[in-house]
Amino acid sequence: MSRRTSLARLADHLDTLGRQNDEQSARAVAVRAAMRILGADVAVLIDPTGDVDVVGRSSDNLGRMTEARAGDDTVDVPGEGPRPAVVAIVRGHDDGDLRLLVARVKGEPFDKDDQAVVDCLAAGLGMALRQFHLVALPNERQRVVDHIARVQRAIANGEPLQEIFDTVTEAARDLLDTELASLHLAQVGLLRFVAESMSPADVTRGFHPPHLNRGIGYAAYRLGRLVRTDDYPSESYAMPRLAQIGARSAMSAPVRNAGEIVGSLAVISFVPGHRFSSAQEQMLLMFADQVSVALTDTKVREAAEQALTDPVTGLPSRLVLLDQLEKALARNEEFDVLFVDLDGFKAVNDTKGHAAGDLVLREIADRLGQCVRSTDSVVRFGGDEFAVLIRDVSLEALYRIGRTMLEMIRRPCVVHGEEIKVGASIGAAGRDPAARDAEGLLRRADTAMYRAKRGGGNQMVIFTRGMRIDV
């Protein structure tokens, strides 16, 4: 599954989590989502006592997973033994934190992007669980649901972070019936304002310090837990200016990103005698969770975008090509794949340096783009290799495109006033019933490319089944 597809599924599952009607359904959705998005074999949700709460498995062949035991970073799969797992903490349960562990019996190890996905799911599950703790306010249930849905839609739609922050502070102030809500994120050990909602608009009368090194928001950030007071002026962390203008009660909850505390969300009431309830504590924690989900979701999106774009040439990456090939195969489209390997490029890096080599790669990428139509795709496959997806052309047209590419690549590249010449070997493979997946097609194109290279380079060879003998 491509990262783009994984990202879309993550947004869908986060939305689904927020629409569950009970805790057990939400937990089951999170476990299934973790398995599907990461292509995992096992996912286990551990309750605060250390017992297995929810288990997911991809196959009945994995044994009786209800007997699985989970360690700190492993899942003991019956018949398979301990398997490394990616782990995330789920906050939002009355009795303590849950742990979500996801493991593969075989296959590639998890990476930091996989961890970010699981962190995002865990934060989403924690937020969903908090919703079920708000039954103490039955008359407010619809307001709570409406506010949750409003913020969750903004996150699922990938709206800009600042807009999500503004939505969260506005919703927190309104739902908790306070006059001030503010969101702070850490910067070099201090907190800075990133969003604020006030009613009336001049309640703080220009009180906007660039950074916070005290206050209830700073206390929650440093302590890593919810902080609440019904007598703000008497607290050691109280900010004199806020106390002077009438702050009476306040709450603040820590904001996390991938498990690390990175800020706080605070609400303050200026009404004498105002007191917060335990249900309102859960509401604030829920809104802090939404900020955490937004931050983690953005991290996942940024990582996905980086994975989809080659930083040297700006071309799409190999992952994009695989995604396009899979879709073209599913739709029974007619297409050809060209595998382009530069000849003589290693000498450029060895004699001119990698900076010059990068300039040559960018120039070649631009030239390849000039050889195809807007409906075709050019990607950097890695190193000095490119791949091109050509849609619905005749064999004669394919040869013509290949010849044009070879001619364009042979033209000298001028780098810092010096001419640098490289060549290319191109292998081509068309849609073939025997190639049932994208990787199979690429192997055929790669095989044809090596035939072209062994033949002296500067040519294009189209794959035929007889070439398998030479692989």
Residue 285 lies in a domain: yes
Q: Which of 81, 105, 130 is the last residue of a domain?
A: 130
Same domain for 125 and 138, yes or no, is no
Give the domain CATH number at 460. 3.30.70.270
The arrangement of strands across the sheet holding 74-77 comes to 52-57, 42-46, 98-103, 81-90, 74-77, 69-70
Kindly indicate the confidence band of residue 140, based on its pLDDT and cuts at 50, 70 and 90: low
Partners of 269 in beta bridges: 249
The per-residue pLDDT for 236 is 92
Whether residue 311 is contained in a domain is answered as no
Q: How many residues does the chain have?
A: 471
Same domain, 431 and 336: yes
Residue 312, in any domain of the structure: no
User: Which of the two residues, 207 and 25, has the higher pLDDT score?
Assistant: 25
Mean pLDDT taken over the chain: 82
145 and 88 fall within a common domain: no
**Residues 116 and 178 both lie in one domain:** no
Residue 390 contacts residue 336 (beta carbons within 8 Å): yes
Q: Which residues pair with 430 in a beta bridge?
A: 336
The total domain count for the chain is 3
Q: Which of 274, 305, 336 is the last residue of a domain?
A: 305
User: Which of 68-82, 94-108, 297-311 has the highest average model confidence (pLDDT)?
Assistant: 94-108
- In this structure, the answer to whether residues 341 and 289 fall within a common structural domain is no
Are 146 and 286 found together in one domain?
yes
What CATH number is attached to the domain comprising 172?
3.30.450.40
Say if pTM beats, i.e. exceeds, 0.75.
no
Q: In terms of domains, do 162 and 282 share one?
A: yes
Radius of gyration from C-alpha coordinates of the chain? 28
pLDDT at 77 over 80: no
For residue 161, the model assigns a pLDDT of 83
**Side chain identity at 358, as an amino acid letter?**
D
pLDDT tens track for 291-303:
888 887 776 666 6
The answer for residues whose C-beta is within 8 angstroms of residue 206's C-beta and 6 or more apart is none
Of 194, 201, 231, which Cα lies nearest the Cα of 216? 231
Same domain, 374 and 465: yes
More confident residue, 164 or 96: 164
Letter for the amino acid at 91?
R
Bridge partner list, 249: 269
In a domain, 310, yes or no: no
pLDDT of 2 strictly over 50: no
Tell me, yes or no, whether 301 and 178 share the same domain: yes
229-252 residue pLDDT tens: 999 999 999 988 888 888 999 999
- Residues of the domain holding 366: 318-470
**Mean predicted confidence (pLDDT) in 55-60:** 68
Residue where a domain stops, chosen among 102, 130, 158: 130
Are residue 154 and residue 110 in the same domain, yes or no?
A: no
Tell me the pLDDT tens digit for each residue of 376-432. Answer: 999 998 889 999 999 999 999 999 999 999 999 999 999 988 999 999 999 999 877
Q: What is the pLDDT of residue 141?
A: 61
